[in-house]
Structure 1
Amino acid sequence: MPPQRSKTVESLLAGAERAFAERGFHGASIGYICQCAGRTTGAFYSNYDSKVKLFLDVFRRHSDRTAEGVEQALAAVDTSRDPAAALAAVFAGVADRVLDERWLSLTMEFRLMAIRDAEAAGALAEHEEQFNGRVGAALDAVYARIGRRPVLPGPLMAALLGAMIRGVRLDRGFHQASGGAVPLDRAALERALHGLLAPSP
């Protein structure tokens, strides 16, 4: 990719991340994305032929940052103590920090759209497989260090944890919006995850 195009794409990605977070996938027009990016619509169409493809690049970038953070946290787990407690703390932290309300809403909006859009569904499924493979490999490495096996292979465990965390955050979001008590606070989530992440005998 030529340096100038790389700079343009980076501006579009940054502007799109802001626009999507503010207005959602459907609410963020190409014009508003370009306004946030400080670029023209011509620059957009020179690099992308659809808003879906731009969103997928934004989604991958956000997910890559998440995967890198999880990999680093898992590599630092102290396996001389209770590894399940340390792993539970890592993933409870992901639920607290990574999926803020705006990004969660955007992710759920896109997942619902993907159910009805074959292009988005295929790209999302491919991305999820790669993401779960990365996190799963990092999980398997933790269990390998203690010479034990997880209840599920790492990639399947990563898929399950991702689905659980999204569901927990979704429920927390509408309870918070209603002013009600938040179910499955961090302490409860850590207890549940501890049981799931305990190594097999």
Structure 2
Amino acid sequence: MPPQRSKTVEALLAGAERAFVERGFHGASIGYICQCAGRTTGAFYSNYDSKLQLFLAVFRRQSDRTVERVEQGLAAVDTGRDPAPQLARLFTEIADRALDDRWLFLNIEFRLMAIRDKEAAAALTEHEEQFNRRVGTPLEALLRRSGRPPALSGEELAAFLGATIRGIRLDRGFRANTGGRDPLPFATMERALEGLFTARE
């Protein structure tokens, strides 16, 4: 990709992320996305065929960041010790610190779209299957190297972790707006995940 085009794509991705978080997929017009990106609509159509294609690119970039954090965390796990508490801490810290409100808004927005739109549903399904493999395969391999085979397959673990983290972040999000008590603090989540990662006889 030529350097100038790369800068344009980066600007569009950053502008689109801001626009989608602020206004949602349907509320963020192409014009507003370009305004946030500091680019023209011509630049948009030179790089993307549709707003959905751009949304997918934004979503994939967010997911790539998450996978990188998981990979870095897995590489730091000491397999000479029980990996369960280490993995529980890793995924709890990712949920607590690494995944911000932008991540939550984009995830919820995509899922709402997928419920209503078959094209979005197909795209999200494909993405989730790839994501679960990318996270689940090295996670399962690490547990097996530790001599503690997991109760679930790696892909099942990744799918379960994703659903759990999304749900907790969503509930924390709306309760934070009312000052309500957190029904599932991250310390509780960490204890629950340790049980999940503990090998079964």
The answer to whether the Cα contact below 8 Å between 1:132 and 1:159 also exists between their aligned partners in 2 is: yes
In structure 2, distance between residues paired with 1:192 and 1:148: 17
Q: 1:16 is matched with which residue?
A: 16
Which amino acid in the other structure matches residue 71 of structure 1?
E
**1:122-162 Cα deviation digits (max 9, x unpaired):** 11111111111011012112112212211111011100110
Runs of 4+ that moved beyond 4 A: none
Range that drifts further, 94-103 or 65-74: 94-103
Q: 1:86 is matched with which residue?
A: 86
In structure 2, distance between residues paired with 1:103 and 1:148: 32
Give TM-score scaled by structure 1 length. Answer: 0.94
In structure 2, distance between residues paired with 1:32 and 1:73: 37
The answer to whether the Cα contact below 8 Å between 2:136 and 2:155 also exists between their aligned partners in 1 is: yes
Which amino acid in the other structure matches residue 62 of structure 1?
Q
Q: 1:108 is matched with which residue?
A: 108
CA RMSD of the aligned region, Å? 1.4
The answer to whether the Cα contact below 8 Å between 2:110 and 2:124 also exists between their aligned partners in 1 is: no
Q: 1:181 is matched with which residue?
A: 181
Matched position secondary structure for 2:177: helix
The answer to whether the Cα contact below 8 Å between 2:20 and 2:106 also exists between their aligned partners in 1 is: yes
Q: How far did residue 103 of structure 1 move?
A: 2.7
Q: How far did residue 107 of structure 1 move?
A: 1.5
In structure 2, distance between residues paired with 1:102 and 1:37: 16
Q: 1:125 is matched with which residue?
A: 125
Matched position secondary structure for 2:57: helix
Structure 1 alignment gaps of length 5 or more: none
Which amino acid in the other structure matches residue 150 of structure 1?
P
Identity over the aligned pairs, expressed in percent?
Answer: 71
- Matched pairs, number: 201
Range that drifts further, 93-102 or 76-85: 93-102
Give TM-score scaled by structure 2 length. Answer: 0.94
Q: How far did residue 38 of structure 1 move?
A: 1.3
In structure 1, distance between residues paired with 2:93 and 2:52: 30
The answer to whether the Cα contact below 8 Å between 2:11 and 2:37 also exists between their aligned partners in 1 is: yes
Q: How far did residue 115 of structure 1 move?
A: 1.3
In structure 2, distance between residues paired with 1:11 and 1:85: 40
Confirm or deny that 1:5 pairs with 2:5.
Answer: yes
Q: How far did residue 121 of structure 1 move?
A: 0.9
Q: How far did residue 195 of structure 1 move?
A: 0.8
In structure 1, distance between residues paired with 2:156 and 2:71: 16
In structure 1, distance between residues paired with 2:67 and 2:148: 23
Matched position secondary structure for 1:178: coil
Q: How far did residue 68 of structure 1 move?
A: 0.8
Q: 2:69 is matched with which residue?
A: 69
Range that drifts further, 55-64 or 40-49: 40-49
Q: 2:54 is matched with which residue?
A: 54
Structure 2 alignment gaps of length 5 or more: none
In structure 1, distance between residues paired with 2:185 and 2:166: 14
The answer to whether the Cα contact below 8 Å between 2:74 and 2:139 also exists between their aligned partners in 1 is: yes
Q: How far did residue 169 of structure 1 move?
A: 0.8
Which amino acid in the other structure matches residue 42 of structure 1?
G
Confirm or deny that 1:142 pairs with 2:135.
Answer: no
Which amino acid in the other structure matches residue 142 of structure 2?
V
Q: How far did residue 73 of structure 1 move?
A: 0.1
